[in-house]
Amino acid sequence: MSKNVRPTKSNNVCPTKPLVAPSHLRLTLPNTSHTMRSSGDLFPVASGPEELLLRLSKQTEYGLRAVVQLARMGPRMYVQSRDLAQEENLPNKFLEAILLSLRRGGFLESKVGREGGYRLSRPPREIRVGDLVRRLEGRLTLKEGRALPDLSPGEVAVHFLNQKLTEATDDVLDNLSLEQLLEYTNRAASLQQQMYYI
């Protein structure tokens, strides 16, 4: 007659742990969820802390963080790269190369001298996040290298899902302006401040 055996250390049984993405692939949105209030609502409804996985390079992440700071500071003010780096806790040398790339791409303009620095070349509402990411990443998504006839049925299914994910990603980023991203950032900061005083 068989007996129930409880797992012990000698059984090499490890408790199941939730998988957590590396820190460079995680974006924490405080007090938010994915639920939309209406079709016209661009921002998530506040609920609880949640992490969204992103596949962005450090270059893109740093570039977006710097551009958001420039958008917050207004269109007329030039900001030194070292001040942006200090504000966002970024490596200054790496950030300087990123800012130069964004200037060459037409997103920023620069001025030399004590009162110089970088600023946005046009209003935030005219800058699409998708265009920023393309400039920083080189492309938004990868293209399938093999033709469909060369794929197995399972690979065709995965190809279809990847295509849908690609289309959804392109659609979201191309329909999101820097102004909208900044509005969300300000709202999230306001919620954080309210929670702090509570």
Within a domain: residue 20?
A: no
User: Does 114 map to a domain?
Assistant: yes
In a domain, 2, yes or no: no
138, part of any domain: yes
First to last CA, the chain: 60
Q: What is the DSSP letter of 120?
A: E
Residue type, 123: P
Split into its structural domains, the chain has a count of: 1
- Assigned domain for 77 exists: yes
- 141: in domain: yes
Report which of 73, 53, 19 is spatially closest to residue 185, judged by C-alpha positions.
73
Q: Is residue 15 a part of any domain in this protein?
A: no
Q: Determine the structural domain holding residue 115 and report its residue range.
A: 26-32+43-191
Give per-10-residue mean pLDDT for the chain (198 aa): 48 42 41 38 43 72 95 89 95 96 96 92 95 84 64 86 86 94 87 62
Which pTM value belongs to this model? 0.65
Distances (CA, A) of 9 to 13, 14, 47, 146, 198: 7, 8, 40, 47, 45
Instruction: Give residue 25's pLDDT.
Output: 39
CATH of the domain at 80: 1.10.10.10
pLDDT of residue 84: 95
